[in-house]
Structure 1
Amino acid sequence: MYDVLVFVYENFWQGDACPESEQLSLKLSAKGFEAADIATALQWLDGLRLATQELQPAAGAAQVPPVRLGEAPAGPAAITLAQSANAMRVYSVAEQEQLGAECLGFLRFLEDSQVLAPGMREVIIERAMAAPDAPVSLDELKIIVLMVYWSTGIEPDALVLDELCDDAQDRVAH
């Protein structure tokens, strides 16, 4: 599936430039990708489209109603609510098992670098949980992060892009 996602990222510069599922499936099949990988990737991309639509409220949309203490927000409110500076994300056991310490550390690094908003982090986690492989490797998570940026139309900073695309094993310590 990840090879298909990389192909889509490299060939369609923004999520809105990507063709519909049927046409994309034909293009991917013509490029030699296996039918099972194509189906899995297209299902994953459909989930990504839905998740990022909630991340970007439509222009002129009604304000999100306030959430009362003890109530869980629903729908777009769950993603678009601002996070307090004192807030802390607690990962469920399933998320910890699916992502692992290395991926969770990488997400924290992106947040600490102020290049990953809480709403985007939640979409990344949700898409990682929807990934067919368990646990998700760091390289796979980086592809997921790239795809979330791609789908939202946000161009990552050059240093972030370098971090996402660079193989850490090839680096030489100074």
Structure 2
Amino acid sequence: MFEVLVYMFENYIDTHFRPDESTLSRELSAAGFDEQDINGAFDWFNQLELMADQADIFETPNHVSTRIFTSDELKKITGESLGFVLFLVQAKILNTAQRELVLELAMNLPQPLISIEEMRWIVLMTTWGASKSGPDKTKEYLFIEDALLNKQKPTLH
């Protein structure tokens, strides 16, 4: 299913055009994707859009919180992936509401383990919604896009 999400994101998000689900489903089937994965990707992507449409998801809260991860989260999301998300919160690339969105979307994927590569895609898809909400949010999206597509690890100062 994750491959379907990446395919949809790469082919439709940047163009701001997405065909209807029936047309897209036929295209994804022709590209060799399984019907169950296609339907799961539609559900996941629709959940992302619904959650990203919440007005307060991209606002920076005035409080600091500590996040305690559940045992299920610790089993499914690699330590490197969790560290990446926490780094983004600390660097103020993601706020705490976006962190929760990213974690919930990661937990809703069917695979048993979420790798750093998959987590970067999830964050990229999430921050893309933020980049639509104004030019001040575009820098966050571009940072994540660079972290995902750049094969060299970013230098932390």
Does TM-score exceed 0.5, indicating one fold? yes
1:125-168 Cα offsets, whole Å, 9 max, x none, are 01001010112111111111111123443543533321122335
Match of residue 88 from structure 2: 110
Match of residue 167 from structure 1: 151
1:38-97 Cα offsets, whole Å, 9 max, x none, are 12211211221222123x35xxxxxxxxxxxxxxxxxx8xx9782513x21111111121
- Match of 1:12, SS state, is helix
Check whether the contact 1:15–1:151 (CA below 8 A) recurs between aligned residues: no
Q: How many residues align?
A: 148
Match of residue 63 from structure 2: 84
Report the residue type matching 1:82 in the other structure.
Answer: P
Tell me which protein shows more helix as a share of its residues. Answer: 2
Q: Could you state the TM-score of these two structures normalised by the residue count of structure 2?
A: 0.78
Q: Cα 1:137–1:29, aligned 2, differ >3 Å: closer, same or farther?
A: same
Q: Cα 1:163–1:94, aligned 2, differ >3 Å: closer, same or farther?
A: same
Check whether the contact 1:95–1:129 (CA below 8 A) recurs between aligned residues: yes
Please identify, of 154-163 and 42-51, the stretch whose mean Cα deviation from structure 2 is larger.
154-163
Higher relative contact order (CA 8 A, sep 6+): 1
2:75 to 85, 88, 97: 97
Check whether the contact 2:4–2:41 (CA below 8 A) recurs between aligned residues: yes
Q: Could you state the TM-score of these two structures normalised by the residue count of structure 1?
A: 0.71
Q: Pairwise CA RMSD of aligned residues?
A: 2.7
Check whether the contact 2:76–2:114 (CA below 8 A) recurs between aligned residues: yes
> 1: distance between equivalents of 2:3 and 2:122?
12
Alignment of 1:32-111 (within 5 A): 32-54=32-54, 56=55, 82-85=61-64, 87-111=65-89
Residue identity over aligned pairs, in percent, reads 30
Structure possessing the higher radius of gyration over alpha carbons:
1
- Match of 1:158, SS state, is helix
